[in-house]
Amino acid sequence: MNVIECEGITKKQGRLKALDELSFTIKENTITGLIGRNGAGKTTLLKILAGFWQETNGTVKVFDERPFNNLLVSANAIYVDDQMQFSNRLTLSDILHEAGRFYGNWDAELARRLFNYFSFHPKQVHMHLSKGKKSTFNMIIGLASRCALTMFDEPTTGMDASVRSDFYRALLKDYLAYPRTIIISSHHLEEIEDLLEDVLLIDQGRKYLHLPMDELKEYALGLTGRTEMVIQWTANHEVIHTRQIGNDLTYSVVKNANLQLDKARQLGIEVSKVSASELCVLLTNKTKGGIDDVFK
């Protein structure tokens, strides 16, 4: 069953298109990484799925319903980011209590244990927390709600490395015990790739690729060798990125399709893996040489 079905979504903001005819589906009980550069349209997409914003064109369905201003979607989906705001009249303890009244699957015991583990005080007020502590508290809301669709938009903003690690571990353990559809938008793909089942990479509001994580890890290979040999060998292959190393060495990232690796090695070309994180950056580069082109 598909929890999300999007067909040709466009979202205009002034003269610009934050989303441009974006189409994809996400099935239930999966963890999907929403990856893209700043301004790619990640937050816009998540806010449309959460029902906060309305698409300009196209069809959006969440739980087989249009999400905008939809009570069913609101009750069964949660959008978590570092901009979440709560009434200053409510303490953190009050917020958890009220969340339990709204979300049908709310786990008060999990919320309490996480609250204590991360050393919050019941009488604290959300607006007085540091950025990292706000993100941590928001994460507790997202996990304890156990919504059928849970969306985390850059959830670890301000967290230190140890708290980020705890968050990812808590998310995975709770997902395994209580499967649901989770989308994580993050700039730290290298930190979350072991959590993800699928990756949706968007660029300038368009879908670049939507693949299982295992396939993304095998999507491309790095080739290093004498410039003349690398250019000659990659002539009939899809080159994603290339850059010079020293006087006569070239490093190229090539799509892993019909590659005769034994022949490449015979020509003195070194073959290496390309991490999923590096690949996503290279795929969305505006130039094949990246920042190095500025200094030519």
pLDDT tens column, 184-193? 998 778 889 9
Nearest CA among 153, 94, 83, 147 for reference residue 120 = 94
Predicted local confidence at residue 144, as pLDDT: 97
DSSP string, 128-191: GS-HHHHHHHHHHHHHHH--SEEEEESTTTT--HHHHHHHHHHHHHHHHHS--EEEEE-S-HHH
The radius of gyration of the chain's CA atoms, rounded to the nearest angstrom, is: 22
* Distance of alpha carbon 295 from the chain centroid: 31
* pLDDT above 80 (res 293): no
Residue type at 173 in one-letter notation: K
pLDDT band, residue 69 (cuts 50/70/90): very high
Look up residue 29 and give its two tokens. 């009980």
From 24-33, 76-85, 195-204, 257-266, the region with the lowest mean pLDDT:
257-266
> 104 by DSSP, 3-state: which?
coil
Q: Count other C-beta atoms under 10 Å from residue 283's C-beta.
A: 19
Query: Which ranges in the chain are annotated with CATH 3.30.70?
Result: 217-294
Q: Which of 291, 277, 288, 208 is nearest to 241 (CA)?
A: 288
How does residue 198 score in pLDDT terms, banded at 50, 70 and 90? very high
CA distances in angstroms from 34 to 145, 207, 226, 227, listed in the order given: 21, 10, 37, 35
pLDDT given for residue 263 in this prediction: 80
Q: Where in the chain is the domain with CATH 3.40.50.300?
A: 2-212
Instruction: Say yes or no to pLDDT of 288 above 60.
Output: no
pLDDT at 187: 74
Are the C-beta atoms of residues 182 and 165 closer than 8 Å to each other? no
Mean pLDDT computed over every residue of the chain: 92
Q: Which residues of 237-256 are buried (b: 16+ CB within 10 A; e: fewer)?
A: bebbbbeeeeeeebbbbbeb
Query: What architecture is domain 2-212?
Result: 3-Layer(aba) Sandwich (3.40)
**CA dihedral of 210, 216, 220, 221, whole degrees rounded to 10:** 170
CA distance 259 to 273: 13
Confidence of residue 292 (pLDDT cuts 50, 70, 90): low
Q: Which CATH class is domain 217-294?
A: alpha beta
Q: What is the mean pLDDT of residues 240-250?
A: 88
DSSP state of 51: T
- Name, in order, each residue with C-beta under 8 angstroms of 81's C-beta and a sequence gap of 6 or more: 43, 138, 152, 153, 154, 155
